[in-house]
Structures are given as structure tokens and as C-alpha cells.
């Protein structure tokens, strides 16, 4: 299947008046996507990261590339902490009256095994649970924004998954072990599980919010980013990083699938797209409706009581 011919500078309309939030937009593909979004003149572009100080160079780069009048704003967010997620959501809700695009981009692949503040396996907790809570808290604003538009389909949640979702262990997602450090699975197995969770949860969000806003799980593509260079990443992830540097796509192309998913009129809510705009390529477990329901029910139970 061939990629859609797509040039953000020509094919993305001006985003005048729109508010966009990108988690982890301070580095890697998220930053490249933020630069491309900033050029299309949204009213506000929110970037999250764990540290404002470390994010300042990226913020300056994004602002320098932005069209005149774009406000580039930073919000501290640690997806491994529900309190941090709630604090970030409160800050956004107190500052804006609309939210047109939410891109759930931030994530981790390598590093040592461990758990988040709430005790979830580190990759599952960061890549899936933290984003699931953020979407839950911001969904009313997304729906409110969509209700003001002629086409609610223009309001988008883009869930950044990965081709890795195709390579999970044979059980799919070990939902009985999400509150552990994931042993005996490896970091790459755990990352793959979290990315499958992104795909399945995006599909279920699309089903439950049908007619309110659009949800698009995507593969960002293969680029040499910090995902492959985390301290303690492990030999296999390190080798992946070396391979991606040789066969991966130029970082100039990074973020295109984000913009396509966030703006194209051809998007089908709930469909998984690889770069750029190619659907119908999800792995076997992406079609497992029973697992999708179990993941939704498990996640919803874990998020009970976490409100603003």
C-alpha cells in the first residue's frame, strides 16, 4: 500500500483560531510535529514535558518556526503520575475555552523495569494509563468544542501508537499484571503491549464518542529519536536504534502522519493509520474486540474516582 502524497505546507489548511495540545512535544517526532503545526497558524499550541527548563530550547525552536501570532505555551506533565495529569488538565481547562486537537504523543520505550507512582508497569502506565486519564479529563472540552463547529469531525484525538503493537506476546496484553514491573517480560515486550493498548483504546474511544469528535490511532513511522537511547534501554532496543538510523526516514518527514490524522477529511474515526494516511494495516490483536472491551473496562475501573 502506497502512502498518501502529503505536504503539510500545502495540504493542511490554516488552523486559525484552533487550540492544539501535544504531549511530549518538546522532543523527537512530537517536536517536529509541533513545528509543522505552528507553521499553520493555530491560535495556541500547547507543549507538555516533564521539565520546563529542559524544554526551553525546543519551545524557542517551535516559536521561531511559528506563523505570526501563534502562542506557544508549555505545561508541565508527567504521565507516570495521576496527580501530575490532573494538575495539567486543570491548567489547560482554566486557560482555554476550546480544544480542537489533542495529540497523545509522549511515551517511553527503553529504560529499566519499574512502576509509575500509582504502581502500574512503567510503559503501560505512562504510554496508556496517563494518556487515558488525560483524555477522560479533557473529553468534555473536546465535545464542547465539536458542538460549536459545523463539522464535529474536525475535533481530533490522535493517539500515537506504533507498529510494535503487532509484536506483542501471544497473550496480547497481560491485564492481570499491569500493577507490577512487568517481569518476566522484556522492555520491548512491555512497550509493544502498551502500544497495542494505544490502538485498542483509541478504537474504543472512537466508538464511544462517535458523533462527538474523531479519534485516530496512528503509527508515527521510523525515526531515530530518544526512544532508542534511554539509559538502560537494553541490547535489543539499542540495536533497533542503530538499525533505524540506517533505514529510518529523515526527521524532515517526522510528524507528517500526525498532521494528516489531525486535519485530513479522509480520516475514519477508529481506523489505525501508518504513514502517511494508510489504513487497514493493524496487527491481529487490533481486531480483537473482546480484548478491546476488557482493556476499556479495566482502564475505566482504574480511573474511577480520578476526576477534577
Sheet containing strand 101-104, strands side by side: 71-76, 44-49, 19-22, 101-104, 156-160, 214-218
Q: In the numeric block, which cell numbers belong to residue 164?
A: 510494535
Catalytic annotation present for 191: yes
- The catalytically annotated residue of 191, 201, 272, 273 is 191
HEC string of the chain equals CCCCCCCHHHHCCCCCCCEEEECCCCCHHHHHHHHHHHCCCCCEEEEEECCHHHHHHHHHHHHHHCCCCCEEEEEECCCCCHHHHHHHHHHHHHHCCCCCEEEECCCCCCCCCCECCCCCEHHHHHHHHHHHHHHHHHHHHHHHHHHCCCCHHHCEEEEECCHHHHHCCCCCCCHHHCCCCCCCCCHHHHHHHHHHHHHHHHHHHHHHCCCCCEEEEECCCCCCCHHHCCCCCCHHHHHHHHHHHHHCCCHHHCCHHHHHHHHCCCCCCCCCEECCCECCCCCHHHHCHHHHHHHHHHHHHHHCCCCC
List the beta bridge partners of residue 103: 22, 158
**Which residues are catalytic, by number?**
191
Amino acid at each position: 500500500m502506497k502512502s498518501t502524497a502529503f505536504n503539510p505546507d500545502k495540504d493542511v489548511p490554516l488552523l486559525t483560531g484552533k487550540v492544539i495540545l501535544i504531549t511530549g512535544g518538546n522532543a523527537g517526532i512530537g517536536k517536529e510535529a509541533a513545528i509543522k503545526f505552528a507553521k499553520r497558524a493555530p491560535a495556541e499550541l500547547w507543549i507538555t514535558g516533564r521539565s520546563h527548563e529542559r524544554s526551553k530550547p525546543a519551545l524557542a525552536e517551535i516559536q521561531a518556526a511559528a506563523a505570526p501570532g501563534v502562542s506557544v505555551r508549555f505545561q508541565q506533565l508527567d504521565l507516570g503520575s495521576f496527580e501530575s495529569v490532573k494538575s495539567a488538565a486543570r491548567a489547560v481547562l482554566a486557560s482555554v475555552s476550546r480544544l480542537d486537537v489533542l495529540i497523545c504523543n509522549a511515551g517511553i520505550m527503553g529504560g529499566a523495569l519499574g512502576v509509575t507512582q500509582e504502581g502500574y508497569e512503567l510503559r503501560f502506565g505512562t504510554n496508556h494509563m496517563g494518556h487515558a486519564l488525560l483524555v477522560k479529563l479533557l473529553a468534555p472540552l473536546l465535545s464542547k468544542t465539536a458542538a460549536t463547529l459545523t463539522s464535529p469531525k474536525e475535533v481530533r484525538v490522535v493517539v500515537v501508537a506504533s507498529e510494535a503493537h503487532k509484536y506483542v506476546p501471544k497473550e496480547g496484553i497481560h491485564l492481570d499484571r499491569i500493577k507490577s514491573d512487568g517481569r518476566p517480560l522484556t522492555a520491548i515486550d512491555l512497550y509493544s503491549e502498551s502500544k497495542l493498548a494505544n490502538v485498542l483504546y483509541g478504537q474504543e474511544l472512537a466508538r464511544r464518542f462517535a458523533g462527538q469528535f474523531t479519534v485516530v490511532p496512528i503509527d508515527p513511522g521510523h525515526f531515530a529519536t530518544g526512544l532508542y537511547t534511554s539509559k538502560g534501554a537494553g541490547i535489543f532496543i539499542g540495536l533497533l536504534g542503530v538499525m533505524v538510523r540506517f533505514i529510518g526516514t529523515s526527521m524532515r518527514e517526522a510528524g507528517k502522519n500526525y498532521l494528516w490524522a489531525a486535519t485530513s477529511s479522509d480520516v475514519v474515526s477508529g481506523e489505525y493509520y501508518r504513514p502517511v494516511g494508510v489504513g487497514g494495516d493493524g496487527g491481529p490483536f487490533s481486531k480483537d474486540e473482546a480484548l478491546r472491551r476488557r482493556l476499556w473496562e479495566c482502564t475505566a475501573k482504574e480511573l474511577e474516582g480520578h476526576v477534577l
